[in-house]
Structure formats: C-alpha cells, structure tokens
A and B are shown apart, each in its own frame.
Chain A
Amino acid sequence: MRFLTPFLIFFNLFKRTLFITFILVFITFVMITLIPIVINSYNYTLEKSLATKQPHIVVKFVDDKTAYSKKQQQKLESTIKTFIGTNKIDTINSFVESTTMVKFKSYGYNLSEYAGYTTIIGLSTYSYPIVYNFDDFTPVMLSEYGFKLTGIEMFDKFRTTKDTVFFNTTLYKSIYPLVTHEARFDLEVNSFGLVQSNVDFLGIVDDFFDKPILYMNINSLNKLLNLPVDHISGFMINIVDQKDLVLIKNQIKSYFDKQNIAVEVVTWREINKKQNDILNIFTQIGILLKIIILVLSTIAVTVYLYKSILVKQPNLRLLNILGLRLISIVNSVISSVILSAVVCAVYITHIVANTNIPKILKEDFSIDIGFYIYDVTVAYIFLVGVVVLIINNMFKQKYNIFK
C-alpha cells in the first residue's frame, strides 16, 4: 500500500495534466496516421490514374527489324506472362514505332500534309469496335454521341478490349497528358480524316496540343508502312499492381537477357521523370509531415508538462515536507511512463498478432507500424528525459515554504 501511495497521490495531483497529455498524444497519433493515409491515398490515386493512361513497362527490341510471326508473338507473350505470373500481368500488347508521314484532309481546304514522328498503335483485328473511322462521323453524329473524348474516356472505352494498348508519345512530356489533351474535332470543318485508301480500320485523333495519334489495325499499319506483316517494335505491358513495377521490370530484363535478345526495358516512371518526381515528392512530403508533426507534438507536450510541473511545484514541495520522498516522485514519473509504455507495447503486440491492421496500413496506405515503434519510442525517451530533468532541477532550486 505504501508503495502505491506516492503513485496515487502523484496521479491525483496530475490527473488533469495526464489527461491533456493523453489527448495531445492521441491527436498526434491520429494526425501521423491520417495525414499519411490521405497523402498516400492521393498518391496512390494519382499513381493509378497516371499509370492507367500509359503502358507500365515498355519492352523495346534494340534491333528494330525484329519480326515475329503471329504464333511467335503469342508464344512470347504467353511465356512472359507465365514467367512473371499471370496474376501479376494485366495486358501484353505488341506495338510498332516508326517515323512516318500522315496526310490530313480538312474539309473545304486543300490537302495539307503533316510530317513528323508519330507513334502508331497496332490494334488487334479481333477487337471491335476499336477504331473509329472518323470519315464516317458527321458533326451531328459527334454531337449526338457527345463525342468529346478525353484521353481517359478513350482509354477506358478501349480497355474493355484486353489486347488494346494506347501509346502516346505526348504522355511522356506532361504530367496529366490525357486529362488535358482532349480529343478535339473541328466541327466547323466537319471532320478530320486520313487519306489512305488501301487500308481498313483507320482513325486519327488530334491530341490538341501535340502530335497526332493514329490508331489502326496492326496489319493495316504494317501495310501502310511497307513493313513485314508481323513486324513489331516491342511489347507494352500493363501490370496489375504498381508496387511490382520495378520487380517485374527486372524479371523481364533478366528473361530477355537469358534469351540473348537485346531489349530496352523501361517503366513509365523512368520515362516520365516529372510524373515520377511528383509521386516521389508526395511520398517525401508525407514523411516530412509525419516528422514535423511528431517533433512539434513532442515540443508541445514537453512545454505543457514543464509548465504543469512548474505550476504544481509548490504542491510537490509541500508533499515532500509532509513526508513524500523525492525519490517517490521521480519513481512515480518513471513508473507512469513505464506503465504507459508497457500498455502501448501490449496493445501494439495485440494489434500485430491478432488483427490485420498493420498489414492494411502497410499494403494499402504504405504506413509501416515500425515507424511508430521506432520514432515514437525516440520521442517518448526524449519526453521522459525532459520530465525527469525538470523534476530533478526543480528540487535543486531553493524554495522557501515559510514566508
């Protein structure tokens, strides 16, 4: 009983302080949990939205003349899928890349000519309806269909067909290319069209700011470019989970290395430095915010405790005069701290052992529970040190209770 008395007296004397400290610590925990969740969720959404607008991994044959038969292509795709894991791969599509010349016909104008670097996407012949032949669209139809296509809308429409991939060089040049680059049709001039009579399934979209993108059947494309029918420049791979991006890239690279096929493998984050930097900045901001909150909170709690102990100093002195040992006060502080640390440790152990909260935090919100255990422990030790120093220093000061 005597052992407990100083602790109970100390607790009684500081119950308000302890309650407010608990609230401050609780708010800190909530903040350092919620802020990363918000930032990581935003980061995750941003990453997902950026990733869905472009191929995740581009495998480009160094030898541009590489030609595979349809069977070879399918076999290679299947092998890659098996090698990486079918559950990790969403789509694999071949693409052709070339410098070409595309002619435009603007209604009411003379034939104009566009020459430049254009990435051309080969669309599977089995995909329907993938490519719009814009020559078939009248302004009325465009209006009727609400044909104000944004890149996302287009992408989503086409993604319903699994073997379709869009490749847009302009994506690599801006952060939100497909959101801002809305497909534009000049209704006044009626339509855009591609002057080619000997190919079927043609379509062209002016991507407003940049170069045109041409969509057409891959065989038609090859015909257009006078390439062998099965010529491909490489594969565009979309993966299921962005967390596997680097791992899968390395796996693909090692696969082709083993096959002695010279390829260049790049991820979308490597190609799009700006996008990558933005995503990294958000991650860094999350970490920085956590640290700032933790440091500010520790300072706030320390200052609050200091002030509280200072206010209670006469009462602590008085209790000492009435028979409370100084060592009991320090012991009470240390006991309180150890007790709360033990409670936290037991609670965290319980959470780790019996719930999937750490897993959810780590996998869905990229929050490692180790962060709390390490950083909060450091902050805690700092706090305890400060409190013990304050009390120790307090009793060294001269204090005259007799007036």
Chain B
Amino acid sequence: MCIKNKNICVDVKGLKKSFEDHNGNKIVVLEELDFVAKAGEITIIMGPSGCGKSTLLNILSTIDNSFDDGSVYVMDTNIKNLNESQKADFRNKHIGFIFQSHELISEFNVLENCAIPLKLKGLKKDEAYAEAIKLLNLFNIPDINHKKLPRELSGGQQQRVGIIRAMINRPNIIFADEPTGNLDRLSRDIVNEELKRLIKPTKHNPNGIALVIVTHDDIYKKDDFSHSVYEFQEKDISSDTIRYKLVHVR
C-alpha cells in the first residue's frame, strides 16, 4: 500500500494547528511542521509534556483533521477531505492504535476486545474470533485468559492484548502512545520485542507496517530499535508560552 511514494505512509508538510483559549486568544501549538513515516520502519516522536505530541498524534491518526494550514497525507489520502464516517472507516482499514493505558473496553473480554476491529470491518464473529485466537496464541496469552475481562490480566498482558487489537486488522500504520509507559522492565522488554516484530513484512503487508511511537523514553532513540527520530525542541520562549518545533534528529 505504501509503495507509491517511496514507502511513505504518513507525509506531513507545513502543518499548522492552533487553538483558542478561554479568553479567545489564539495559541499556536504546531507550526511549519514536516513529518514522514515509512512502511517497515519505526519512527519515534519525542518531546516534553505540553509540546504538542498528542495534538500531532490526533492529526496523524485522523482523529482530528481540523488544522489551520499545511497538508497531511496518510496512505496517500488527504485527511482534510474526510468526513466523520469516512475517517472512522479509514482508521479501521489503515490504522492501528496502541495506548499507554491499554484502553481496553472493560465490558468486553479479552477475545472480544481483540476482535472488535475485525467485527467493525464486517467480518463474521467466528472469523474474527479465529483470527484473534491465532494472534493471542502468537503473543503467548494462554487460552484460559481469552474469556477473562481485561482487568483480570497483568499490565504486560493487557498491553499485549492492546497490540493484538492494533494489528489484527493488518493496518499499514500503527500509532503507539507511550506503549511501555505503565509497564515494569520485564514487561517493557517483552512488549518492545513485540513492537519490533510488528513492522516486519508479512504476506498481507509486503512492505511492513509503519510504526510511529510517541515517547519520553530515550531507549527508543537507539539505532537498534528505531529508524527515524523526531524531537520537539524549544523554539522561542515568549512571555507566557513556550513554542516548540519538530526537528528530524535522525
């Protein structure tokens, strides 16, 4: 899917995003921002709190397409032109999400949580569950846990379930927000190994997945883990706000 433009899955040029505060003043959060994420690569976005990482992630993942200026192409699609329903379909088809606090649906069991994207895609329940079970076994989640509610699993297991849910639809891009932020060292290592496995080319995804990770953790900067690193750096400090720019570090 990402072959058309040198495997580029996400292509952002000159992005500008601003908000109005409660006094009606305009606050620029993102400005002249360029960003690229390629298939089969892990791209890291780093930066301090409040620099605009979440805002950027919302835009890249098509949750928010109301930016002021610039262009955002995801899978060669200008996301600005998508309406709410198209965005939902687009996310279901092309994008997977991994969240810091797992964000599993507490009312659904592990199997149901994993199968949701496939069900939303239109697959039959049996097909969706079969695929989910295959991945759960691949990620070493024992059968006994499949019918359990998410809260009955350990943090590491919950995050693995989150990863399965993110990849079960065979997306082209996965956005991960502090994927190991809430995990202990052992669980973090396991999850990181799983993340590295994610991007590898498969039958369904010959170019591999583009994995975009937003993190504070410097270990992701290492060459052996990531292919590309972007960092929000301070641009200028005005009287009451600090402005950041996104710099392509590597």
Contacts and interface: CB of A to CB of B under 8 A. Distances in A.
Contacts of A13: 105, 107-108
A324 B105 contact: no
B89 interface: yes
B227 interface: no
B177 interface: yes
B42 to A, nearest CB: 18
Contact of A5 (B63, B108, B120, B169): B120
A321 B63 contact: yes
10 contacts: A5-B120, A6-B120, A9-B116, A322-B117, A323-B89, A323-B91, A326-B88, A327-B85, A401-B63, A403-B181
Considering residues B89, B116, B119, B121, which has the most beta carbons from chain A within 10 angstroms of its beta carbon?
B119
A12 B117 contact: no
B120 A12 contact: no
A2 B122 contact: yes
B145 interface: no
A272 B124 CA distance: 73
B178 interface: yes
Interface string A299-334: 000000000000000110011111111110000000
Interface of A: 1-2, 5-6, 8-9, 12-13, 15-16, 314-315, 318-327, 400-403
A285 to B, nearest CB: 43
Given A9-B119, A322-B120, A402 B85 contact: no
B100 interface: yes
Contacts of B124: 1
Contacts of B103: 314, 318, 401
B105 A401 contact: no
Given A12-B107, A403-B178, A324 B58 contact: no
Contact of B101 (A6, A321, A403): A403
B183 to A, nearest CB: 14
B8 interface: no
A325 B105 contact: no
Contacts of A318: 103, 105
A325 B89 CA distance: 7
A16 B63 CA distance: 29
A1 B122 contact: yes
Contact of A401 (B99, B117, B214): B99
Considering residues B116, B121, B181, which has the most beta carbons from chain A within 10 angstroms of its beta carbon?
B116
Nearest to B91: A323
A314 B165 CA distance: 17
Contact of B88 (A2, A8, A320): A320
Contacts of A325: 84-85, 88-89
B244 interface: no
Considering residues A8, A15, A320, A322, which has the most beta carbons from chain B within 10 angstroms of its beta carbon?
A322
Contacts, number: 81
Contacts of B93: 323
B63 A324 contact: no
A324 B121 CA distance: 9
A138 to B, nearest CB: 85
B87 to A, nearest CB: 9
Given A1-B124, A321-B63, A402-B177, A12 B108 contact: yes
A166 B100 CA distance: 89
B93 to A, nearest CB: 8
Contacts of B153: none
Contacts of A12: 107-108, 112
A198 to B, nearest CB: 95
B18 interface: no
B92 interface: yes
Contacts of B230: none
Contacts of B97: 321-322
B202 interface: no
A321 B91 contact: yes
A15 B119 CA distance: 18
A12 B108 CA distance: 8
A8 to B, nearest CB: 8
A315 B105 contact: yes
B23 interface: no
A326 B117 contact: no
B81 interface: no
Contacts of A322: 91-92, 97, 116-117, 120, 165
B149 to A, nearest CB: 13
B85 to A, nearest CB: 5
Interface pairs A-B: 8 shortest CB-CB: A323-B92, A2-B122, A402-B54, A323-B120, A325-B88, A325-B85, A402-B177, A402-B57
B55 to A, nearest CB: 9
A403 B105 contact: no
A307 to B, nearest CB: 16
A71 to B, nearest CB: 86
Contacts of A314: 103
Contacts of B91: 321-323
A326 B84 contact: yes
Interface in B16-34: none
A174 B122 CA distance: 75
Interface string B113-135: 00011011110100000000000
Nearest to A314: B103
B70 to A, nearest CB: 20
Given A314-B103, A403-B178, 7 more contacts: A8-B119, A16-B107, A321-B63, A325-B89, A327-B84, A402-B53, A403-B177
A327 B103 CA distance: 22
A14 to B, nearest CB: 9
